[in-house]
Structure 1
Amino acid sequence: MTDGAAILLSRHLARSQPSVTSAQDAGVLRKVLEQAYARLTSFDPGYAWTSGQWMTERPGGSDVSRTETLARLGSEEELKADENTFASAADSVDMPLGPWFIDGFKWFSSATDADMVVLLAQTQKGLSAFYAPMKRTVVGVGGKRTPVMNGVCISRLKNKMGTKGLPTAELEIKGMRGWLLGEEGRGVREISAILNATRLWTAVGATGSWGRGLAVAKAYCQVRKIKGEQVLAENRQHVRWLAEEAVKYRAATHLAFLGVALLGISEWGVEVAAKGTRAGEWLPRDKQEAEILLRILTPVMKAQCSLAATLGLRECMESLGGVGYCENNEDDGLMNIARLLRDSSVNSIWEGTSNILAEDFVRATRGQVGGRAIEALGTMLDKMLEVASLRFAEHVETIKQTWHDLRTFLTTKKEVEALYRGKGLLRSMEDIVCAALLLVDACCTQGEVERVIADRWLASRISKKKHLLSDTSALTESEIDKQILFGSSAIRAVRRDSKL
């Protein structure tokens, strides 16, 4: 949320005027946003700020169109009275408070202990975005300056399934002073800059937790004895199970970091973002094209990586048996997959459930902008498949046909039909993009493991040939399983003494 807020403020600072409304002093607002941006991007913990993002309310949940929080422009008399009450019109870092008064109730507000917030509220012209500091200054007797909450009162903290360390609260907002960002009635468009960042962070964070769970599962199976001196890592069925999870994890990681690469290109250009990599052969060269691709792929990354990671962590927990079901808080929770699973579960809910993201994806494929996005994606896939065509001609044709079918559906079916099949469309897009990424990855090495990973992904997600019915012997495949799970140099699991 902090990164997303920094992106949003930087876009306003790049304009000649940070806000188009005449009710706000553009020069003062610029100074306020410059101060906030400097703190959001600082590495000094004594100076740096974090940001919250408040959208969710009781009536609508993820549907922000039902927002009930109201914002109104204060009159000169109201602003003067407010200043007299606090003997100050400055925030906690002596920046001027905005001329808008915000009142309402936010039902699910993450980062309650942040230093600033970007929030949505209704004005006379519709849903709008606002910047507000969390604290303002009150001047007491003798001129003593004390920071107090800027019209925010915590109603109660949420008793959540996971992410216990992050305070999430129901907040009553009364007389909060803030600044309008952009135009009135264009709040969703403004806050989408934050959503793109937070959704990408969610995809990357989800796969990171999944990777941690797999690391624990791999380490455990090398020490857990099952038959005499045999360890789980020598049980072919167990290794195959985890190897299949490793294939899914590899695909999800490629998908998430494709988003990272596209974001890098949109901000810095491909020469910087892809420097020293072979990905420059197929990544978009144009910043605007990268932004368009992010618009269509971000919902896919956030939805699919989040869900896959949660399901994957459940598999990792099961692979440890009863040990996985326990909290395992010893050694600072190094083996606590149960906590990872609880914390990861929120990823498929916050910043839009899978249904919301499916609708967002469908909207991104509509109209002129949607047509450009589909065209840009087709161009990138063509370049990726061209890289893979010499080694994987059959796979390339399979992906091309699958992409042709999906593209035809997206461009010819009515929106109501696409929305009905939205979650399936997310899955199909994930299948295609991950297949292309895995093939490109396999072309970057002469090893066998990457090729098998790509084979297995296509067999399970795209090809009609089922990997379960493979003619390859169990002995041969089990050796490949070990390589997928433990790495090419770890054909045989290392025996270690168990500490459990």
Structure 2
Amino acid sequence: MTITPYPAADGHATAPTGAEDVNQAPPLAPYDASADVALLEALNREGAGWNEADVRRVGQLAGGVEAQQWAEDANRFDPELRTVDRYGNRVDEVEFHPSWHHLMRTAVAEGMAGAPWAEDRAGAHVARTARGLVWGHTEAGHGCPITMTYAVVPALRHAPELAAVYEPLLTSRIYDPGLRTPSTKRGLLAGMGMTERQGGSDVRTNSTVARPTGEPGVFTLHGAKWFTSAPMCDVFLVLAQSPGGLSCFLVPRILPDGARNPFRIVRLKDKLGNRSNASSEPELDGTVAWLVGEEGRGVRTIIDMVSCTRLDCASGSTALMRKALVEAGHHVKHRRAFGRTLIDQPLMRNVVADLAVESEAATAFTMRLAGAADRAQQGDGQEQAFRRIATAIGKYWITKRGPAFTAEAMECLGGNGYVEESGMPRLYREAPLNSIWEGSGNVNALDVLRALGREPGVADALLHEIGLASGADRRLDAAAERLGNDLAAATADLSSIEFRSRQLVEQMALTLQASLLVRHSTPAVADAFCSSRLDRQGGLAFGTLDASVDTEAILERALPDPS
């Protein structure tokens, strides 16, 4: 078939609608999601360089055509709730598109769920975070059950007899979906049921009741949960009010004798984003549960799980930003306007370079948190103190930067970025999630204050980490001095700081990120961050870096030429 060009007003031939447009970026996939210099440097720096080959392999898989299609399909075809079978028997099962299972199977097999707890090797948790950062280039929804399966292990260890039964299956690298007796499966997934309709983050107002059965450590639960994600998981940690106070319980969907545990799913949430992940409202009516930890100490028990899930919130937002940056960078390298490619336009270079700086700062922070988590597990007291405060700071700040970042990256694609098939709207809808889940911004800011008030050593640990870059940059030195003074004033009277606690936590985050970049990145990246985030030699929007910033060096580092 011959396509006849249409004459334009100036007499030159133009292609008809539907013909090939040479001024469109080619498909991004296949690409290497691990082609991230900052990530690979941090992997080695934080003690997991031994896993670089696996990280690179997972990155190539994540950027492949097949995995990218899995991500698109898993989000396009929402999970479906099936409350009863054909005979009217209550089953409360959720059905997923095959692409969801492909994503889950890969994530579990690559050790992103509970596997690091079974590895007696320094850096195992760092390696997991790095693999998650590159696999996060697929889609975020399936990361929820993967994260919770990882995070449940340290909390479950408060009940050694239960951990002995369930931990080997929670740390398995085999994805074995379907509700069956846990002991007959080759691998398990875990979820969490904390919040209720009347309280949300205020879990001490939970009204779900736990009644003793007479058998030691065994209760029945009666009540409802408002937001329980991944209801197809095999086991859940649930908070409920027992006679001794708010306590933590292990709830299996299938009991050891093969009977279904009452776990009625009222509905699945119709969410803004995170569409591939089923989030539900379950009702518990005589649901059998086993006590985990001390009765009345449920928050203290489950907080070990929350510390891990908050790390993954920061990691999820970091992966999302990197994916958005890669998409934007690919587009501006190929799209032409006004006689030049977009990346050669000075203002666009400013925007993309600024996004690159933000992405690297998030990556450095996230990987430092992973290193602290790894070393804290090995008993390092200094790292335990740093982890305690820095995880809350990172969860607050990195997840807060996600929405503005993805919006700016989408704008780099112009109208093309606003179209669903570009994938950018999916990233944009996903972006606010991690700031809300596992404690909203206010909850995390107040958690930082709680840490300062109850554990004085955490402030010293944070300032020590920042001080490792002392003398390397005058702007950082000034920011560190201001922060030290503000922390001293705050800890002297914490009651007066709550109103502006977000401001203090932001100051902590920026100063810590600056220290990490000054120590570990290139002078161009460190200078751009310090001048724009600490010295305010620019505006608040992305793309307002000072003219003295070396954008070329920043972009060469962040978006290397694949050839």
Relative to the length of structure 2, the TM-score reads 0.68
Please tell me whether residue 428 in structure 1 is matched to residue 428 in structure 2. Answer: no
Structure 1: runs of 5+ lacking an equivalent = 14-29, 77-96, 139-146, 269-285, 329-334, 443-449
Paired residue type of 1:355: N
- Which runs of structure 1 show a deviation greater than 6 angstroms over 4 or more consecutive aligned residues? none
2:460 to 375, 382, 387: 375
CA distance in 2, matches of 1:33, 1:473: 54
- Aligned partner of 1:128 in structure 2 is 247
- Aligned partner of 2:357 in structure 1 is 247
Quick one: percent identity of the two aligned structures? 29
CA distance in 2, matches of 1:242, 1:439: 20
- Aligned partner of 2:166 in structure 1 is 36
Aligned-pair CA distance for 1:130:
0.5
1:178 to 278, 289, 294: 289
Structure 2: runs of 5+ lacking an equivalent = 1-147, 177-185
The aligned runs of 1:325-474 (5 Å cut-off) are 325-328=418-421, 335-367=422-454, 369=455, 371-382=456-467, 384-386=468-470, 389=471, 392-412=472-492, 414-442=493-521, 450-463=522-535, 465-466=537-538
8 Å CA contact 1:299–1:357 kept in 2: the answer is: yes
The aligned runs of 1:216-235 (5 Å cut-off) are 216-228=327-339, 230-235=340-345
Paired residue type of 2:174: D
Paired residue type of 2:474: E
Three-state SS of the structure 1 residue aligned to 2:295 is coil
Aligned-pair CA distance for 1:10:
3.3
Aligned-pair CA distance for 1:411:
2.0
Aligned-pair CA distance for 1:452:
2.4
Three-state SS of the structure 1 residue aligned to 2:251 is strand
The aligned runs of 1:111-260 (5 Å cut-off) are 111-136=230-255, 147-228=258-339, 230-260=340-370
**Partner deviation per Cα, 1:273-320 (whole Å, 9 max, x = no partner):** xxxxxxxxxxxxx61221221111111111111111222111111111
- Aligned partner of 2:409 in structure 1 is 316
Please tell me whether residue 263 in structure 1 is matched to residue 385 in structure 2. Answer: no
CA distance in 2, matches of 1:126, 1:65: 9
Aligned-pair CA distance for 1:465:
4.6
8 Å CA contact 1:112–1:167 kept in 2: the answer is: yes
Relative to the length of structure 1, the TM-score reads 0.76
Aligned-pair CA distance for 1:345:
1.8
**Partner deviation per Cα, 1:2-38 (whole Å, 9 max, x = no partner):** 111112223543xxxxxxxxxxxxxxxx1x4312111
Paired residue type of 1:125: G
2:554 to 484, 489, 494: 484
- Aligned partner of 1:3 in structure 2 is 150
Three-state SS of the structure 2 residue aligned to 1:484 is helix
Aligned-pair CA distance for 1:489:
9.3
- Aligned partner of 1:144 in structure 2 is none
- Aligned partner of 1:50 in structure 2 is 189
Aligned-pair CA distance for 1:466:
4.4
8 Å CA contact 1:459–1:467 kept in 2: the answer is: no
CA distance in 2, matches of 1:194, 1:316: 33
Aligned-pair CA distance for 1:405:
2.2
1:103 to 191, 198, 222: 222
Change over 3 Å in CA distance of 1:299–1:393 after alignment to 2 = closer
- Aligned partner of 1:294 in structure 2 is 387
Three-state SS of the structure 2 residue aligned to 1:151 is coil
Change over 3 Å in CA distance of 1:407–1:98 after alignment to 2 = closer
Paired residue type of 1:99: V
Aligned-pair CA distance for 1:436:
0.7
Change over 3 Å in CA distance of 1:149–1:326 after alignment to 2 = farther
8 Å CA contact 1:98–1:177 kept in 2: the answer is: no
8 Å CA contact 2:490–2:496 kept in 1: the answer is: no
